[in-house]
Structure 1
Amino acid sequence: MAKAFASQGDMTEKTITFDEIGEGLWAFTAEGDPNSGVIIGDDSVMIVEAQATPRLAEKVIEKVRSVTDKPITHLVLTHYHAVRVLGASAYGADQIIMSDMARGMVAERGQEDWDSEFQRFPRLFEGHESIPGLTWPTTTFTDAMTVYLGNRRVDIKHLGRAHTAGDAVIHIPDQNVMFTGDIVEYHSACYCGDGYFGAWGGTLDKIKAYDVDAIAPGRGDALVGSEMVNKAIENTRDFVDSTYRPAARVAARNGSLKEAWDAVRSECDAKFNDYAIYEHCLPFNVARAYDEARGIAHPRVWTAKRDIEMWEALQG
């Protein structure tokens, strides 16, 4: 029987965990599904990552209401991907914050990404009929901005390209905690289909330089303590490098995409095949690594049509 494309066959509900990773800072995680973060200030709340639909966002709101009744006033979206942003309307936030680059990517490829991701992973779009449309920020920044939730300072920064061109991280200095989006993952495959392999390691170095006490990653468990934080950063680095190296070797000798796929599997399967969404990410990761190694500097737009054409080429 042919393999199901991406995560079309994954219909298993995940167990939600809600962990406090610093005073008034919470990580909403779900066994490798997209994470969200909660930052509680003096009088209000900031959410990091919206989830894919308003219905799924309500699960985050339910957890928020278990620890505070303060209003949700700010929503930060670390990048433009549909599974991160399309649930935004549920929060009723006064400000929706993205980097300038992330907003540009909504304009350039937001609808195509929505159509593509919906096809790839239908379970994550529970209640998709409630999505009012593309999510647009009310506030953008280029390199950095600071938001004060009363006396609590929240620094939002673009440290460099990695998972996308416009990734943001959120640092809370009073607890030295960071929300990294999909730049860092824990026991979950990195999705590199819109990534920058050559830049990712440098961005990880900048995160590591903060020497944070905890990280809420894009997927996987909350990371508390320097040992767990550093392990996740280095595992992410290994995943990215182990994907790119074999694809680049194939590209250098003018080998095919299918040969790159086989080479990446040979290097990565033994190390990472038990990671969440590994099989889902692999074809997109190989395609992007192969492109970057051949000199295609920026990720090409994924569409529902391009997804299937790529998948059929790899399965042939």
Structure 2
Amino acid sequence: MAKAFASQGDMTDKQISFTEVGRDLYAFTAEGDPNSGVIIGDDSVMVVEAQATPRLAQKVIDCIRQVTDKPITHLALTHYHAVRVLGASAYGAGQILMSDAARGMVAERGQEDWDSEFQRFPRLFQGHESIPGLTWPTTSFTGRMSVFLGNRRVDLMQLGRAHTAGDIVIHVPDENVMFTGDIVEYHSACYCGDGYFADWGGTLDAIKSYGVDAIAPGRGDALMGQDMVNTAIENTRDFVHSTYRPAARVAARGGTLKDAWDAVRAECDPKFADYAIYEHCLPFNVARAYDEARGIAHPRIWTAERDMQMWDDLQG
């Protein structure tokens, strides 16, 4: 292999921010690393996204303990990716919530995804030896469910496929704040390697229809106010479309994956090269866009071996 994945050399710790995005609602962000969310109810706490390891989850818990001593009873996971779920054991939450589709993906490809992500991005797995195993939900659902933290209602919803087949968002109606997982990013590349390009825009439209006052995105800064929210949604839409369109043109003329890589770079580099994890995401994004354009409806499973073969093909 000519060179390593960009993320394998990314060993710099990021500055953590803990931002109140609504009354008793917080976004844990870290300069493009995976975000988490915190929802404080009358007598308990829900965390959104677990982080990749119990050690990294403890950083979220430390922030929570700065603002409340209420017990963490619920953990909501927007999708199945290892960097989002494998730190779950640190919270001691009695309820772990996930869509039925996401649970199915844990069963189908959870171990392969863990092995793949660990190889690609070792810094995000600090303390990996403390991970007890795959994270499984205690409760899963299709469509929509509500959880009450005392009087505070929290709505968990499937608004459409985007980043994965099992994506959910979490909406807190009393403050009109949403936690979107990786469906929406801010000044950070979207990871599209397990995504659905044709569906992503419609899912963004569904999020936009709520007119929320703040969003805690999957990566990047908390989005405060409808102007910032809408800007981030439209930037995410542009990123997804700018990745798919050139790959689809290459596929239509019978070009190679390397041709698609060159075409996507030509369109995306001028607009997105300074986004967090851009170089990390790009090869996986191109591979998935090229597959979808050639009629492969569902993302193929990434394995550590497939990662390396794909990267060799692109470098060659």
Both structures adopt the same fold (TM-score exceeding 0.5): yes
Whole-Å separation in 2 of the counterparts to 1:199 and 1:187? 21
Does residue 228 (structure 1) correspond to residue 228 (structure 2)? The answer is yes
Q: Which residue of 2 aligns with 1:8?
A: 8
Q: Which residue of 2 aligns with 1:150?
A: 150
Q: Which residue of 1 aligns with 2:38?
A: 38
CA offsets 1:264-297 (integer angstroms, 9 cap, x no match): 0000000000000000000000000000000000
CA offsets 1:40-75 (integer angstroms, 9 cap, x no match): 000000000000000000000000000000000000
Whole-Å separation in 2 of the counterparts to 1:99 and 1:29? 24
CA offsets 1:170-226 (integer angstroms, 9 cap, x no match): 000000000000000000000000000000000000000000000000000000001
Q: Which residue of 1 aligns with 2:88?
A: 88
Q: Which residue of 1 aligns with 2:181?
A: 181
The ranges of structure 1 where at least 4 consecutive aligned residues each deviate by more than 6 angstroms after the TM superposition are none
Whole-Å separation in 2 of the counterparts to 1:3 and 1:188? 23
Are the equivalent residues in 1 in contact too, given 2:2–2:312 (CA < 8 A)? no
Query: What pairs up with 1:51-62 in 2 under 5 angstroms?
Result: 51-62=51-62
SS of 1:109 mapped into structure 2: helix
Q: Which residue of 2 aligns with 1:74?
A: 74
**How many residues of Structure 1 are paired with residues of Structure 2 in the alignment?**
316
Whole-Å separation in 1 of the counterparts to 2:5 and 2:83? 17
Q: Which residue of 2 aligns with 1:190?
A: 190
Paired amino acid for 2:115: D
Whole-Å separation in 1 of the counterparts to 2:3 and 2:303? 20
Q: Which residue of 1 aligns with 2:289?
A: 289
Q: Which residue of 2 aligns with 1:245?
A: 245
Q: Which residue of 2 aligns with 1:111?
A: 111
Q: Which residue of 1 aligns with 2:18?
A: 18
Whole-Å separation in 2 of the counterparts to 1:275 and 1:90? 30
SS of 1:96 mapped into structure 2: strand
Whole-Å separation in 1 of the counterparts to 2:183 and 2:8? 24
Whole-Å separation in 2 of the counterparts to 1:92 and 1:130? 14
CA offsets 1:120-160 (integer angstroms, 9 cap, x no match): 00000000000000000000010000000000000000000
CA offsets 1:219-278 (integer angstroms, 9 cap, x no match): 000000011000000000000000000000000001000000000000000000000000
SS of 2:9 mapped into structure 1: coil
Q: Aligned-pair distance for 1:4? A: 2.3
Paired amino acid for 1:22: G
Paired amino acid for 1:228: M
Q: Which residue of 1 aligns with 2:99?
A: 99
Q: Which residue of 2 aligns with 1:210?
A: 210
Does residue 304 (structure 1) correspond to residue 282 (structure 2)? The answer is no
Q: Aligned-pair distance for 1:5? A: 1.1
Whole-Å separation in 2 of the counterparts to 1:2 and 1:209? 45
Does residue 254 (structure 1) correspond to residue 251 (structure 2)? The answer is no
Q: Which residue of 1 aligns with 2:161?
A: 161
Q: Aligned-pair distance for 1:2? A: 4.2
- Structure 2 spans left out of the alignment, 5+ residues: none
- Structure 1 spans left out of the alignment, 5+ residues: none
Paired amino acid for 1:26: Y
Query: What pairs up with 1:259-278 in 2 under 5 angstroms?
Result: 259-278=259-278
Paired amino acid for 1:297: A
SS of 1:202 mapped into structure 2: helix
Q: TM (normalized to structure 1)?
A: 0.99
Q: Give RMSD over aligned pairs.
A: 0.7
Whole-Å separation in 2 of the counterparts to 1:65 and 1:168? 26
Q: TM (normalized to structure 2)?
A: 0.99
SS of 2:7 mapped into structure 1: coil
